[in-house]
Amino acid sequence: MLYRPSRPRTVVIMAAASLVLAGCGEEGPLLADGAKEPAKLEMTGPEVIQDPDGTGIEVSQRLYEASDVVVVADPSREDQMRAAALALELGAPMLVRHPGHEEAVDGEISRLGADRVIEVPGDTDTDDAAAIEAAEPVATDTLSDVAAIAAQEAAKPIDLILPPMLATDETSRAAAATARAAGAEIEVLAAADPRATSESMRTVSEQDTLALGRQFGSDEDYAARVALAGNGELPGGGGLVFPGRRMIALYGHPYGPELGVMGEQGPAEAAALAAEYASWYAPLDEQPVIPAFEVIASVASEFPGEDGNYSNETPAEDLVPYIDAILDAGGYAVIDLQPGQGNFLEQAKIYEELLKRPNVGLALDAEWKLNPGERPLSRIGSATAAEINEVADWLAQLVRDNNLPQKMLILHQFQLAMYPDRENIVTGQPELAWVLHADGHGVPGQKFETWDALRQDLDPAYFMAWKNFIDEDTPTFTPEDTYGTVDPRPWFVSYQ
């Protein structure tokens, strides 16, 4: 059970009623019964409450000008969850005494003017000791701590209209408890981005919101992502490529079966097959699993061709039937480039009109990126960070200029030398979802060794992808193998 105050009930009610509200706007208009509508929290746009130390001080400062009661927890998880229950019951701010921040916490208590400070766990000889011991910590069941706190009833919300708030599991317990105790509705997202779900996209598009935690970035970062939330959803819901869905893709070329399973049949049949593959994985995942095509658009060649770049650029119109088919099936398409001696950016621009579609991404295959004088298969190709960055800049601008949802950008890799200065690749653009596709083949041990090597010192902005080779792997992984033994679970799985 939640804590019930040991003091007379009237004392607690008076304490809650005496809370003074921070950041209030003007009082609202009179209601039909003559009462005044509560004021709204003043907002000037999307805002992040950083709470960088996890003490909850900044949330308390933003929502409360004063409070007669404050709940203060020691850093342990159990103490924080117990304190959260007390704060929710009393409608009071919750703070945490993290090491090195004790003085700041005391300063916030002083600012609030609290005459009752409930310390958790507290000394056994204090007036609140019995009540603290009797209080049940917020129960999580299958929820995360933050989601469990957000799901609790706010017993004594403050007399102030609060904007919706967004949080993640990285949000501090104190921030979530203080906001919820004040009466805020909190959406807990899988990613620190307002495009994480269809619901959060609607929320931020309809009014100003507060985001709880420094994981949301600066106010400017958050506002930029809020603006992108108006650019539409992706198959499976939400406006982020990942998380929110996983993809199972067929790899290939429209001209025939030699380059992959996708081209072994016509567009409609290939889309149906991709949907069948995705259906194998759907029971294994809580997120939507959607079908995809990775369509080879430029094919590395042993012959120089008319332009001398040892890469055959397929006419964009020849790709359209396959792209149309997978999009009509509720899936996603990725255009794959094998540039030979050509240039990634120049080839990407050939397919600009296709990339303007909301559900079409781009893949760069450095295996087939060669220097002048080199031919395909003379060595494993490579690309510099500068080459990748110029494509990323162009693609992100394309998203902005055309009001598109976030777009996938895949880098294929199976050797470290393929991106010799990978650490200099600039990620983090809100318009792009970066994917590192480990596409080595062989026996399981070899594939796992490649997987682990590629993940060493990898920028956490990347989502990992896995390739199952139907003929070259021995054996080809089953869906259960792929999702059960590949760690972390890949977001994008392709079949070649």
Instruction: For 210-276, give the DSSP string.
Output: EEESGGG--HHHHHHHHHHGGG---TTSSS-SSSS-EEEEEEEBTTBGGG-GGGGS-HHHHHHHHHH
| pLDDT tens sequence across 161-218 | 999 999 999 999 999 999 999 999 999 999 999 999 999 999 999 999 999 999 999 9
pLDDT at residue 305, rounded to an integer:
87
Per-residue pLDDT, 10: 27
Average pLDDT over residues 399-426: 97
- In whole angstroms, what separates CA 391 from the centre of its chain? 22
Q: Which amino acid is at 253?
A: H
pLDDT value for 9? 26
From edge to edge, which strands make up the β-sheet containing 69-73? Answer: 94-96, 69-73, 116-120
Lowest mean pLDDT among 129-138, 223-232, 340-349, 467-476: 129-138
What pLDDT, on the 0 to 100 scale, is given for residue 302? Answer: 86
Read off the pLDDT of each residue in 454-475 and give the average, rounded to a whole number.
95
Backbone φ/ψ region at 197: left (φ over 0), alpha (ψ -120 to 50), beta = beta
Q: How confident is the model at residue 13 (pLDDT cuts 50, 70, 90)?
A: very low
Mean pLDDT of 131-159: 91
Summarised one tens digit per residue, pLDDT across range 320-353 is 999 999 999 999 999 999 999 999 999 999 999 9
Per DSSP, the three-state class of 182 is coil
- Give the pLDDT confidence score for residue 7 in this predicted structure: 28
> Average model confidence (pLDDT) for the chain?
91
Q: Which amino acid is at 111?
A: R
Please tell me the pTM assigned to this model: 0.89
* Residues 82-108 pLDDT 10s: 999 999 999 999 999 999 999 999 999
3-state secondary structure 4-53: CCCCCHHHHHHHHHCCEECCECCCCCECCCCCECCCEECCCCCEEECCCC
Which H or E element spans position 116?
strand 116-120
Closest CA to 57 of 93, 21, 23: 93
pLDDT value of position 14: 32
What pLDDT, on the 0 to 100 scale, is given for residue 134? Answer: 76
How deeply is 202 buried, as exposed, middle or buried, from its count of CB atoms within 10 A (0-12, 13-18, 19+)? exposed
Is 210:165 a contact under the CB 8 Å cutoff?
Answer: yes
Q: Which of 127-141, 235-249, 284-298, 454-468 has the lowest mean pLDDT?
A: 127-141
- For residue 315, give every residue at least 6 positions away whose Cβ sits within 8 Å of its Cβ, in sequence order, or none: none
- Give 446 or 126, the one with higher predicted confidence: 446
pLDDT at position 20: 46
Those residues with Cβ within 8 angstroms of residue 238's Cβ, 6 or more apart along the chain or in another chain: 195, 196, 197, 198, 200, 201, 244, 245
Give the pLDDT of residue 49. Answer: 98
pLDDT top residue among 262 and 25: 262
**Domain parsing of the chain, residue ranges:** 9-231, 246-495
The whole-number pLDDT of residue 210 equals: 98
Q: Taking CA 161 as the corner, what is the angle to CA 160 and CA 167, rounded to the nearest 5 degrees?
A: 110
Check residue 378 and give its pLDDT: 77
Q: What pLDDT sits at residue 35?
A: 63
The residues, any chain, with a CB within 8 Å of residue 57's CB and separated by 6 or more, are 51, 95, 101, 104, 105, 108
The residues pairing with 161 across neighbouring beta strands, listed in sequence order, are 40
Residue 3 confidence (pLDDT): 28
The helix (H) or strand (E) run that includes residue 444 is helix 444-455
| Confidence (pLDDT) at 15 | 37
CA nearest 376: which of 388, 365, 389?
Answer: 365
Whether the Cβ atoms of residue 176 and residue 155 lie closer than 8 Å to each other: no
pLDDT for the residue numbered 203: 97
Fold classified for 246-495: TIM Barrel (3.20.20)
Q: Which residues pair with 295 in a beta bridge?
A: 252, 335
Dihedral sign from CA coordinates of 107, 174, 13, 32: positive
